[in-house]
């Protein structure tokens, strides 16, 4: 569903451009020529090829990865390459955890990554709770003063 400028462009393109082969690939070709000139596509391709998760959340990384795949059809079309580039872009600790689950596809790898993130959150929560418990048990218990001189 096209909106705003893209809808106007498509209405005009339908009258001017030969749309005889009405395929998705033909539409994308025309759309990219209009909205993503070659230099912009080149820049987006380079950004994608160097994409790393870094400080991005997993959801942000996946969003950028999916967007970048549109501009690198050699990766998007080959499942093994797409999986490898995704895995290579993950943070090392997350990559290790996902690799242990042995995903066989990009979709499976993203699901495994979300599972791994949840496990890491659970571990952090437990460690923080233990730290709080250790901290409170290592502090000497103070007696409350009730006003009785013999307790002081």
Residue 9 domain-assigned (yes or no): no
Residue 103 domain-assigned (yes or no): yes
Whole domain around residue 76: which residue ranges?
Answer: 20-129
Residue 141 domain-assigned (yes or no): no
**Residue the block writes with tokens 């990865």:** 65
Residue 151: is its pLDDT beyond 50?
A: no
Residue 92 domain-assigned (yes or no): yes
Residue 140 domain-assigned (yes or no): no
Helical spans, DSSP H, in 36-105 = 38-49, 58-69, 73-76, 79-89, 92-100
At 149, the pLDDT band (50, 70, 90 cuts) reads very low
pTM of this prediction? 0.66
Of 127, 124, 143, give the one whose Cα is nearest residue 135.
127
């Amino acid at each position: 569903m096209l909106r705003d400028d893209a809808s106007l462009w498509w209405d005009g393109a339908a009258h001017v451009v030969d749309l005889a082969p009405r395929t998705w690939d033909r539409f994308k070709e025309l759309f990219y020529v209009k909205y993503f000139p070659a230099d912009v596509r080149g820049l987006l391709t380079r950004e994608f090829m160097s994409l790393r998760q870094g400080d991005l959340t997993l959801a942000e990384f996946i969003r950028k990865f999916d967007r970048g795949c549109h501009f690198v059809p050699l990766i998007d079309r080959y499942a093994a390459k797409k999986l490898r580039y995704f895995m290579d872009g993950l943070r090392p600790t997350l990559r290790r955890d996902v690799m242990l689950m042995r995903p066989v596809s990009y979709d499976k790898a993203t699901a495994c990554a979300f599972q791994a993130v949840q496990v890491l959150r659970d571990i952090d929560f437990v460690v923080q709770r233990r730290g709080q418990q250790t901290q409170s048990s290592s502090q000497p218990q103070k007696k409350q003063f009730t006003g009785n001189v013999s307790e002081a």
